[in-house]
Structure 1
Amino acid sequence: MGLSSMVVTSILAVFSVTQLGLIPTMAEEETMVFGAIGERVILPCIDRSQHDGVTWKYKNQVVIKHQDRILKGITRMTFRSDLNKQEISKGNFSLTLLQLENSDAGKYVCEVGSRTFEVHLQVFTVTGSPSGYLLSNESLTLKVQGTSSAGITWHDNHGKMVTHSQSRELENSGYSLRIHSLQAEDSGTWKCHIRSSSALLEIPYKVLVIGFHNWALETHYAAVNSTVLLSYTLSADRQKIGELENIKGGFEWKPEEDRQYQEKFNFSVTSKGLPWSKQMNNMRFTVKTSNDLQVKLHKVQFKDAGWYRSHFKFSRGRVEKTIHLVVMAVSANPVGPHSKSANVTLLCRLSGPLPPGAQLFWEHVNGTEKETQKEDHNEVKVMTKTAGRWRCSLKVRNTVVTSTDYTVEKAAEWNIYVLIGAGVGAGIVLLLLAGLCTFTCTARQRRRRRAEKIARVRQDLIEKRTCQCQ
Structure 2
Amino acid sequence: MELCGTAASSVRAVFMVLQLGLTHIMAHQQQIGVEGKEVILNCKRHDKDVIWKYKYDAVSPATIIQLSTGKVFKGRTPMSDRSEINQNSKHLKVLNLRISDAGTYICGCGSDSNSISLHVVKLTISSNGHFLPDDDLELTLMHNSRNPQPRFSITLFNSHNSIVTPDILQNEAPQKYVLKLKQLKTTDSGTWMCNMHSDSPSISQNISFNVKVLGFENTHLERMYAAADSTVTLSWHLNFQKIGWKKFFTGQLNWTQSKAVTLLDFNATADGQLRETKKSSQTLFEIPEMQRDSTVKVKLPKIQLRHSGEYTCQLLNNRRYIQSKTELVVMQVSANPPGPLPKGAEMTLLCRVSSSIPSNIHLLWERVNGTQTDIKKSKQSETEVEVKVTAAGMWNCHLMEDNNMKLSLNYTVEEAPVWISYTVIGVIIGAGVLTFVLVCLGIMFGMSWQRRRQRAKRMARARQHLLEKKTCQCQHRMNK
TM-score using structure 1 length: 0.70
RMSD: 4.1
Aligned to 1:27: 23
| Correspondence 1:403 to 2:408 | yes
- Amino acid aligned to 1:128: I
1:22 is displaced (CA, Å) by 4.3
What is the deviation of 1:284?
1.2
Tell me the residue number matched to 2:330: 327
Separation in 1 of the partners of 2:319 and 2:256? Answer: 26
Residue 352 to residue 278, structure 1, CA distance change in 2 (3 Å): closer
- How has the CA–CA distance of structure 1 residues 170 and 362 changed in structure 2, closer, same or farther, with 3 Å as cutoff? farther
Distance 1:111 1:305 in 2: 78
Q: Which of 202, 209, 219 does residue 205 from structure 1 map onto?
A: 209
Does the alignment pair 1:124 with 2:127? no
Cα 1:402/1:97, change in 2 over 3 Å: same
Shift of 1:283: 1.0
1:155 corresponds, among 148, 154, 157, to 157
Q: State, as a whole percentage, how many aligned pairs show the same letter.
A: 32
The 1:14/1:375 distance shift into structure 2, 3 A limit, reads farther
Distance 1:355 1:393 in 2: 15
2:265 aligned partner:
267
Q: How does 1:354-393 map to 2 (within 5 A)?
A: 354-355=357-358, 357-358=360-361, 360-365=363-368, 369-373=374-378, 375-393=380-398
Counterparts of residues 13-24 of structure 1 (less than 5 Å): 20-24=16-20
- Output aligned runs, 1:232-271, within 5 Å: 232-236=236-240, 244=247, 249-255=251-257, 261-265=259-263, 267=265, 269=267, 271=269
Q: Deviations over 1:343-402 (max 9, x none)?
A: 544332223444465453223345565444584433344444442222212244665432
Q: 1:160 to 1:175 in 2, by over 3 A?
A: farther
Asked whether the 8 Å contact 1:342–1:385 carries over to 2, the reply is: yes
User: For 1:104, which of 101, 124, 133 is the aligned residue?
Assistant: 101
The alignment partner of 1:24 has SS state of: helix
Does 1:63 find its partner at 2:64?
A: yes
Letter of the structure 2 residue corresponding to residue 84 of structure 1: N
Work out the CA distance in 1 between the residues paired with 2:366 and 2:345: 19
Q: Is the 8 A contact 1:251 1:310 kept in 2?
A: yes
Secondary structure (helix, strand or coil) at the match of 1:215 reads coil
Kindly indicate whether the alpha-carbon contact (under 8 Å) linking 2:129 and 2:210 is maintained by their aligned counterparts in 1.
no
Counterpart among 80, 83, 87 of residue 85 in structure 2: 83
Q: Which position in structure 1 is the counterpart of 2:304? A: 301
Report how far residue 324 of structure 1 moved. Answer: 1.1
Q: 2:190 aligns with which of 175, 188, 193?
A: 188
Contact 2:158 2:164 in 1 (8 A): no
Shift of 1:13: 9.5
Q: Secondary structure of 1:27's partner? A: helix
1:218-229 alignment to 2 at 5 Å?
218-229=222-233
Q: Cα distance, 1:200 vs. partner?
A: 4.4
Quote the Cα distance in structure 2 between the aligned partners of 1:398 and 1:137.
34
Q: Structure 1 CA distance, aligned partners of 2:177 and 2:389?
A: 71
* Residues in 2 aligned to 1:377 and 1:163: alpha-carbon distance in whole angstroms: 47
Find the aligned partners of 1:409 and 1:42 in 2 and give their Cα distance. Answer: 85
**Letter in structure 1 aligned against 2:84:** D
CA apart distance, 1:102: 0.8
User: How far did 1:120 drift?
Assistant: 1.4
2:393–2:412 Cα contact (<8 Å) kept: yes
Q: Work out the CA distance in 2 between the residues paired with 1:193 and 1:385.
A: 77
1:141: how far off? Answer: 1.3
Structure 1: tracts of 5 or more residues without a match: 1-5, 88-92, 420-470
The aligned residue for residue 220 of structure 2 is 216
Among residues 27, 33, 36, which one is paired with 2:34 in the alignment? Answer: 36
Distance in 1, matches of 2:154 and 2:179, equals: 10
How big is the shift at 1:207? 3.0
C-alpha distance after superposition, 1:431-454 (max 9, x if no partner): xxxxxxxxxxxxxxxxxxxxxxxx
Match of 2:180 in 1: 178
In 2 relative to 1, CA 264–68 (structure 1 residues): closer, same or farther, beyond 3 Å? Answer: closer
* Paired residue type of 2:412: T
Measured after TM superposition, the shift of residue 35 of structure 1 is 1.4
What amino acid is the match of 1:227? T
Change (3 A) 1:170 1:232: farther
What is the alpha-carbon distance in structure 2 between the residues aligned to residue 330 and residue 299 of structure 1?
15
Q: Distance in 1 between matches of 2:184 and 2:155?
A: 19
When normalised by structure 2's length, the TM-score is 0.69
Distance 2:52 2:251 in 1: 58
Instruction: Please name the residue that 1:460 is paired with.
Output: none
Structure 2 unaligned regions, length at least 5? 56-60, 145-149, 424-480
The AA in structure 1 aligned to 2:80 is T
Specify the SS of the correspondent of 1:303.
Answer: helix
Amino acid in the other structure paired with 2:306: K
